[in-house]
Amino acid sequence: MKHGIKSAERLYNVLLAPVVSEKSTMIADKHNQVAFKVVQDATRQEVKAAVEALFKVQVESVQILNRRGKEKKFGRTPGRRANLRKAYVCLKAGQEINFAEEVK
């Protein structure tokens, strides 16, 4: 894959799901941002291109964070929850993503 050129298939696979929580609703109202779960190797440029292509909006910036999975016990056996990578996408003024609508 060349720099700057992303395949449509890759863009559809970058975003896993929107994050719907109290915190994500608060940042959506206050800062015009939307949170998404993304694949572990996603870059800022890929997330920006995927959101713009899928939702037909303009993206101002993207912040990505990695959250390590917690060590937990499952019965007697120790285990580990999966690592999570989230992207906070800041939309330009006047732009909005409505998850109730169908993606075309």
> What value does the mean pLDDT take over residues 73-100?
91
Residue 18 lies in a domain: yes
> What value does the mean pLDDT take over residues 47-60?
94
* pLDDT confidence band for 84 (50 / 70 / 90): very high
Local structure of residue 97 (DSSP, 8 states):
-
pLDDT at 103 over 80: no
- Give the range of the structural domain holding residue 77, as residue numbers without chain letter: 8-91
Task: State the average pLDDT for the chain.
Answer: 89
For the chain, what percent of residues have pLDDT higher than 90? 73
pLDDT at 99 over 80: no
Residue 24 lies in a domain: yes
Residue 101 lies in a domain: no
CATH code for the domain in which residue 70 is found = 3.30.70.330
pLDDT, residue 23, reads 93
Residue 62 lies in a domain: yes
CA 19 to CA 49: how far, in whole Å?
18
Indicate the pTM of the whole model: 0.82
Pairing verdict, β 71-74 and 77-80: antiparallel
Pairing verdict, β 33-38 and 84-91: antiparallel
pLDDT at 1 over 80: no
Residue 3 lies in a domain: no
Domain total of the chain? 1
Q: Tokens 């390590």 identify what position?
A: 68
Look up residue 54 and give its two tokens.
């899928």
